[in-house]
Amino acid sequence: MYDNWEQLEESIKNCKKCRLCQNRNNIVLGEGNKSTKLMFIGEGPGADEDIQGRPFVGKAGKLMNMAFETVGIDREKVYITNIVKCRPPSNRNPENDEAMACLDYLRNQVILIKPEIIVLLGSVALKNILGQEYGITASRGKWIEKKGIFYMPTWHPAALLRDETKKIDFIKDLKEVVEKMKN
């Protein structure tokens, strides 16, 4: 474990623990407020993220930003990251071994940030953080507390691009998060 961001980032830049490193342009560590109480975890970088080295900057990210504005979340005041730090080919879901290779990095981010609430964006984040027994359809919108952290599983913003009806649930879940932050 690393006790500062510089060491963590340097380790990820030099990481060769899985095959995802072979085609990356940039690692996507995450971005935002490193002292926040609210963290968002997605699955992995897409093409735009790989080019820019920033999470959620493509179409799904733009949709997420609009949802943030709707419910009053300031993107600059939260921290956003992913399960894997390198782009899976063709934007496929990260495979189990790839996710496992990155999990210590993610755990280290959580230790450094010390969030009170983590929003899990989609099934990949949910299963890798809380366990394979969880399903996104059954867990979405329900608070799950583990080790003093409250988790809110919700749809991944990319799912909203494929199914417009999920936007209502996504906004509702984010409103729940905003309410919990007030308490």
Per-residue tens of pLDDT for the chain, all 183 residues? 899 999 999 999 999 999 999 999 999 999 999 999 999 999 999 999 999 999 999 999 999 999 999 999 999 999 999 999 999 999 899 999 999 999 999 999 999 999 999 999 999 999 999 999 999 999 999 999 999 999 999 999 999 999 999 999 999 999 999 999 998
According to CATH, the topology of domain 5-182 is Uracil-DNA Glycosylase, subunit E (3.40.470)
State the pLDDT at residue 183. Answer: 82
Q: Considering the entire predicted model, what is its pTM?
A: 0.97
Helix/strand number for the chain, H first, E second: 8, 6
Residues 6+ apart with CB under 8 A from 56: 42, 49, 64, 65, 80, 157
**CB-CB contact of 93 with 121 (8 Å):** no
Domain locations in the chain?
5-182
Q: How many Å apart are CA 44 and CA 86, to the nearest integer?
A: 7
Q: How many Å apart are CA 33 and CA 122, to the nearest integer?
A: 22
State the pLDDT at residue 1. Answer: 87
